[in-house]
Amino acid sequence: QTAAESVPEGEGPGSIAEGGGAAAPERDGPALVGLSHMVGAADRTVRPGIVHRLDKGTSGVMVVAKSDAAHFHLARQFAERVSQRTYLALLWGVPGLRQGKVTANIGRDPNDRLRMAVVPDDKGKHAVTTYRVLEVLDGGHASLVQFKLQTGRTHQIRVHAAHLGHPVVGDDAYEGGVAPRTRGGAPVPAHQQ
């Protein structure tokens, strides 16, 4: 598990940078106790609040509120899409359109309840992801793609990338046999900016 690093916080709430491979802290787990010390909460009555989540294996900045009021306002900004979440991911192959939008509902995979999948419009939850190919790599065998979430569904980028036919490199859950085998247990190469 990687250690969290502090990110300069300015006047407002603090944030934590996850290096990838570590899951987001559990509500009452030891990582949250560690966050309490990092954000200056001397006693357990003042607790940081996790404002959003990152998939296990995704690196990036984790926003942590230092007070209940800050948590309320930050969570509202995420819910109202005032704050923008941008991700970079390495995909197998290159999407046919160099930029586009995927609008496809996401729900539990009917064949594997541990996975999510694109489901019919009358099922699952509405999900919208925009993407832009930043770089074509290895003669088109892979590409570096920027994703922006307009909704926040579980495994949204991973599911939508697989739906495009270009799954995230190293994502054993959603590669679906499209890609050559990668080293087992490696973090999914996705990063929240």
Which residue is associated with the tokens 């892979």?
Answer: 142
Q: How many CB atoms within 10 Å of residue 6? A: 11
156 neighbors 174 (Cβ within 8 angstroms): no
Per-residue exposure over 147-164, b if at least 16 CB sit within 10 Å of its own CB, e if not: bbbbeebebbbbbbbbbb
Six-digit token string for 112: 């594997």
DSSP 14: -
According to DSSP, the β-strands at 190-192 and 86-92 are: antiparallel
For residue 185, the one-letter residue type is: G
- Catalogue the active-site residues: 55
Provide the 3-class DSSP secondary structure of residue 70.
helix
CA–CA separation, 161 and 80 (whole Å): 24
